Amino acid sequence: MFTSKEFILLLFFLCTLKCVVSQNLTCADLNKLYEDGKNLVNVQRLYDGLLQLNHITQENKEIGYNYFNYEFSQSMSHNVSEEYLKAKIYTQTASLFYDQLNNVESDVYELFQNYTHCFFEPKSTPEHLNYFVNKKYRSINGNGNNIKYPKRGESFTSFGRLLKHQYDDNIYSIRKSVRGNSLPASRSIVRKIFLNQKTNLNKFTKRNDTPNMLFLLFGQIIKHDTSSKQINQNVAPNEGVRCCSHMNKFQLPPSLMHSSCLPITISRNDSFYSSKNIRCLDFVRSNLISNNPYKVEVGEQMNRVTSFLDLSVIYGSDYERMCKIRSYNGGRLKMNPSNVLPLVNGTYYSGENRASQTKFFIVLQSLFVRNHNHIVDKLALLNSHWSEERLFQEARKINIAIYQNIIYNEYLPLLLGVESSKRLENVVYNPETDPSTLNEFSSAAFRFLHSFLPSEFELRDRNLKVRKVSISDALNENESISSYENILRGLMYQNISKTGYSDEILNKLFKNNRDIGLDLLSIDIMRSRDHGIAPYFKYRKYCDIKPFNLKSFNDLSPHISKKYISQLRETYKTVYDIDLIVGAALEELESNNSSESNSLVGPTLQCIMLEQFYRWKAGDYYFYTHDLSEFSFTKEQLKTLNQIKMSNFLCDNSDLDFVQESAFINNKNDVKCTELSYMDLSAWKEDLSIVNDN
């Protein structure tokens, strides 16, 4: 261990970096603050490194180790690491800047950006110069999709936002109550409102079109395809950041805690953890990124993957990963002998590092890899003159189009209601629309889907005999895939949960050998605070949900029931403190039983989700329905793509004998795969006489 003297010296140095002077700051003052900020970050990095050297790190088999290991296991390039470090320095400098202003009531974030000229010479070069845009195929990393704003939606850039971030210091420290107190602990919120209650949050029990687990996990594919945060780290492989003591008995003192820690506190009267003597759960803050090299910006959370609906979950979000996935044999992707994702060092390997969280994800991702290879085989027969590269790119383009078609024409009508999803039908490309995945969507709104998870996954054999496996056991499994079709049948014939968050989600996520795991909802609440998501009432106003100006908890009616209003009043000090993910999760759904109007989510979540899916379509130059260049799909090709349903997709890429006619709905309306049409790509046959003439 390092000595108390070393701690005292480090802490003394940290304190000397903070001083208060006048509010009339010059460029010299700002540059001094920048140097102080850089020194402070370097000291923090040194300090965090000392923790690692002294083995104050989280190790395998501890509570939640696998969860956090997935979050930081994907490496960053040197350039991205530099931008991450710069973002930390700017953010720390802004914090010092805030201290210099004596915590004045002003927009510190905007004031800080006004000092850009102190750090950089003015740049006249347009942002879009020196970027090559391939009009035929989208890039792997998302760069150049928009020639005017080439980095929008690119991997390793920041999430977008609907509303400005909300921090206590307007920079990075966690939001507090409007009364100045700390917000209620996330686990306390879960315990008082969600735990040990059959909350029936989803309130769609009378619907005839109950979604199945295939619908739910397909949503997880969308989530992984468009967002992946990276938590802060300064540790060796197989070691995680530690915020709690060994066995999670208490929160580590500040002198032993990593600078990125934000531990979840557990009360003594917690019905689950207290009996296990658990008083603390590890939680590590997300990495920041600086997007503009010529502008002083407080860091924003980094998205490791492309924002676009481009199957980066299959193809990767950087060229290095893509090269490991491709076989470079006829345009195909690598598969193992069982025709599922390839194994690399005993782990299933795909476009992003969360593929092997559970075999249910592995099977769904394998569907798209199989589909890519089927497309390649068909295209090679139609166009024997095509190169290996063209076969790969055309198959990728078609595979992405099928995926986008399923999302907008089958998935969203079920999630948001048919009438609401129709608003997205005629959306055209708008180069001013930012397609970046919204922080509110990734860190709050789409996480509500966790409430649909049941306690167990079901697997079904050819006779539909059921074998069950708990969610927590499924996440801990690391076995080979030997029941591909059984998994698919299980997903099709198992309904999503109608009773809210299960015990498996609230107590046992990524459990250890003592059957103790994380609380996913507590993590979701903390992550939304870490990412500076504004409180619930502000999104009600943004989404035009009346009354706009809430004055008391009672004003939440009729969108939230009296029962939940009472629980919210007991949990939060004011109605203005309610976290977005909490308030939105408790909203009532429409009483109409028709699937034409019904959404599976309340009005605030529906609003945020609609905005996100609008942006992903309007802001994506390569979206499959856009007719913007000679390389866009032809009318005949679009007709073929729009005829491919999820049911066809399942039959084409598995050995299933029958499927649900509407693949995302468990209505027992089976159809034989032999009765469904197979993918016909004749519209892609190239006329060689025209090619030769050109």
Examine the pLDDT at 607 and tell me if it is beyond 90.
Answer: yes
- pLDDT tens, 22-53? 356 788 887 888 888 888 888 888 888 888 88
The residue with tokens 């060092």 is 345
| Helix pair 4-16, 27-53: axis angle to 10 deg | 160
- pLDDT tens, 246-255? 889 999 999 8
Q: What is the pLDDT of residue 68?
A: 62
Tokens representing residue 60 in the block:
């395998």
d(CA 289, CA 537): 28
Cα distances (Å, whole numbers) of residue 591 to 16, 26, 109, 204, 417: 60, 60, 43, 9, 13
Examine the pLDDT at 12 and tell me if it is beyond 60.
Answer: no
Q: What is the pLDDT of residue 127?
A: 45
Q: What is the pLDDT of residue 471?
A: 87
The residue with tokens 């590092």 is 353
Examine the pLDDT at 333 and tell me if it is beyond 80.
Answer: yes
Helix then strand then coil, % of the chain, to nearest 5: 45, 10, 50
Q: List the domains of the chain with CATH numbers.
A: 4-124+231-245+256-262+285-302 (no CATH), 165-224+304-657+670-694 (1.10.640.10)
Tokens representing residue 495 in the block:
């309904």
Q: Does 224 appear as a known binding residue?
A: no
Tokens representing residue 330 in the block:
């006829």
- pLDDT tens, 363-416? 999 999 999 999 999 999 999 999 999 999 999 999 999 999 999 999 999 999
The three-state DSSP-derived secondary structure of 566-595 is HHHHHHCCCHHHCCHHHHHHCECCCCCCCC
Examine the pLDDT at 128 and tell me if it is beyond 80.
Answer: no
Is this prediction's pTM over 0.85? yes
Considering only residues 110 and 436, tell me which one the structure prediction assigns the higher pLDDT: 436
Please compute Rg for the chain using Cα positions: 26
Place 18 in a pLDDT band, splitting at 50, 70 and 90: very low
* Secondary structure of residue 198 in the 3-state scheme: coil
Residues of the chain with pLDDT > 70, as a percent, come to 83
- pLDDT tens, 419-475? 999 999 999 999 999 999 999 999 999 999 999 999 999 999 999 899 999 888 887
Residues of the chain with pLDDT > 90, as a percent, come to 59
The residue ranges of DSSP E strands in 325-464, in sequence order, are 343-344, 347-348, 456-460
Q: How much is the average pLDDT of 485-491?
A: 94
**In this predicted structure, which of 6-20, 262-276, 629-643 has the lowest mean pLDDT?**
6-20
Q: What is the pLDDT of residue 325?
A: 93
Strand partners, 509: 518
Q: What is the pLDDT of residue 283?
A: 94
- pLDDT tens, 635-677? 999 999 999 999 999 999 999 999 999 999 988 789 999 999 8
Considering only residues 9 and 266, tell me which one the structure prediction assigns the higher pLDDT: 266
**In this predicted structure, which of 31-35, 168-172, 195-199, 282-286 has the lowest mean pLDDT?**
195-199
**In this predicted structure, which of 37-46, 124-133, 501-510, 622-631 has the lowest mean pLDDT?**
124-133
d(CA 630, CA 395): 18
Q: Which residues contact 356 (CB under 8 A, 6 or more apart)?
A: 347, 348, 362, 478
Q: What is the pLDDT of residue 210?
A: 87
Do the beta carbons of residue 72 and residue 230 sit within 8 Å? yes
Q: How much is the average pLDDT of 110-131?
A: 56
**In this predicted structure, which of 6-10, 57-61, 161-165, 230-234 has the lowest mean pLDDT?**
6-10
Q: What is the pLDDT of residue 130?
A: 43
Do the beta carbons of residue 361 and residue 354 sit within 8 Å? yes
Question: Can you spell out the DSSP letters for 82-102?
Answer: HHHHHHHHHHHHHHHHHHHTT
Q: Which residues contact 110 (CB under 8 A, 6 or more apart)?
A: none
Q: What is the pLDDT of residue 63?
A: 83
d(CA 277, CA 272): 9
Examine the pLDDT at 66 and tell me if it is beyond 90.
Answer: no
Considering only residues 202 and 164, tell me which one the structure prediction assigns the higher pLDDT: 164
Place 511 in a pLDDT band, splitting at 50, 70 and 90: confident
Q: What is the pLDDT of residue 20?
A: 36
